[in-house]
Amino acid sequence: MNTRDERPTYADAACAALGDAMAHDERIVVVGEDVGRGGIFAQYRGLQQRFGAARVIDAPISEATIMGAGVGMALAGCRPVVEMRVVDFALCAIDEVVNQAAKCRYMFGGQGRVPLVARLPGGIWSASAAQHSQSLEAWFVHVPGLLVVAPSTAADNAALLRAAIDCGDPVVYLEHKELWGQRDAPEVAAAPPARLGQARVRRSGGDLTIVSWSRQLHWALEAAAQLATEGIDAEVIDLVTLWPWDRDTVLESAGRTGALLVTHEAVQIAGLGAEIVACAAEALGCRVMRAGAPRIPVGYAPTLEEQARVRPAAIAAAARRLLDRRKRP
């Protein structure tokens, strides 16, 4: 009996979407380290064999050079997909992202656009320590001129990567390092394609709103399932696009439930969760809370690494505290 799972993984879905885009648009090129052999997470598997080394370009170990070349390609009319291996390494190319790609359209009055997708796999990567496990989405959300995307499912990774390539502006594309092998449940795979700037309601509920993204979204859903056994009905929203984030969906839900919890894998201090809860508090006056990581480097030892993770139990505990606070006179 054939028990092979035919559902695409998070990596397969993105690879297929990129291959389809490249087949339809010769302007799309890939540049980065290890892309010729398929990428370190197999997210480019077979693409160099299919499209050749002139369109799937192996680059030397120089992140600033790779990103700088990508910006130049974009200004010259290409639509480059720039691979940084992990978001941590992108810090070596931060000037090209923040001062060149992000600002070019503004500084030249729209005459120069940078339709570039920077794939920067983020998040904790088990047993990879402090320099390979960072969640830096708040840095990029802070920069005017950048779109920031963080898909949590294989289906969304395919749809959003294609949308990012097509959008015409620089996109920081944050795939999670520990989602590459994940396959979607049938109901997730069957959902309508994701859109830039539009959040997804992954679970409906009326007692409180939980907002998350990327891998943390899956733990938020686990926390909601745990809360349901206690009679607490949580709505879970997958933000999907971190900038622009879907204020309407979040505020509608938080206004209806009266309580908003934002949870993310990134350090809680000055994280994106702070912006979201501040907007909700200003607009609605609802109760708000965050559940993020402590301000510590991610440790290599499993016991230390665990301190940086915000697991479902911690999310559920934060939700209980939030509801208890709401009930006080």
pLDDT digits (tens, 9 = 90+) for 159-176: 999 999 999 999 999 999
Residue 180 Ramachandran class (φ > 0 left, ψ -120 to 50 alpha, else beta): alpha
> Which of these is catalytic: 24, 132, 176, 218?
132
What is the pLDDT tens value at each position of the chain, 329 positions in all? 556 778 999 999 999 999 999 999 999 999 999 999 999 999 999 999 999 999 999 999 999 999 999 999 999 999 999 999 999 999 999 999 999 999 999 999 999 999 999 999 999 999 999 999 999 999 999 999 999 999 999 999 999 999 999 999 999 999 999 999 999 999 898 899 999 999 999 999 999 999 999 999 999 999 999 999 999 999 999 999 999 999 999 999 999 999 999 999 999 999 999 999 999 999 999 999 999 999 999 999 999 999 999 999 999 999 999 999 766 55
CA 224 → CA 21, 276, 301, 312, 324, distances in Å? 36, 20, 29, 8, 16
pLDDT of 5: 79
Domains plus CATH for the chain? 10-173 (3.40.50.970), 200-327 (3.40.50.920)
Closest by alpha carbon to 273, among 193, 216, 229?
216
Helix (H) / strand (E) containing 67: helix 63-75
Give per-residue burial for 270-288: e unless 16+ CB within 10 Å, then b.
Answer: ebbbbbbbebbeeebebbb
219-270 per-position pLDDT tens digit: 999 999 999 999 999 999 999 999 999 999 999 999 999 999 999 999 999 9
Q: Is the dihedral of CA 7, 13, 19, 22 positive or negative?
A: positive
C-alpha to C-alpha distance for 20 and 262, rounded to whole angstroms: 35
Is the dihedral angle over the CA atoms 61, 159, 115, 265 positive or is it negative? negative
How far apart (Å, rounded) are the C-alpha atoms in residues 252 and 312?
Answer: 24
Answer left, alpha or beta for residue 34, where phi above 0 means left and psi between -120 and 50 means alpha: left
Is residue 132 flagged as an active site residue?
A: yes
- 15 alpha-carbon distance from chain centroid: 16
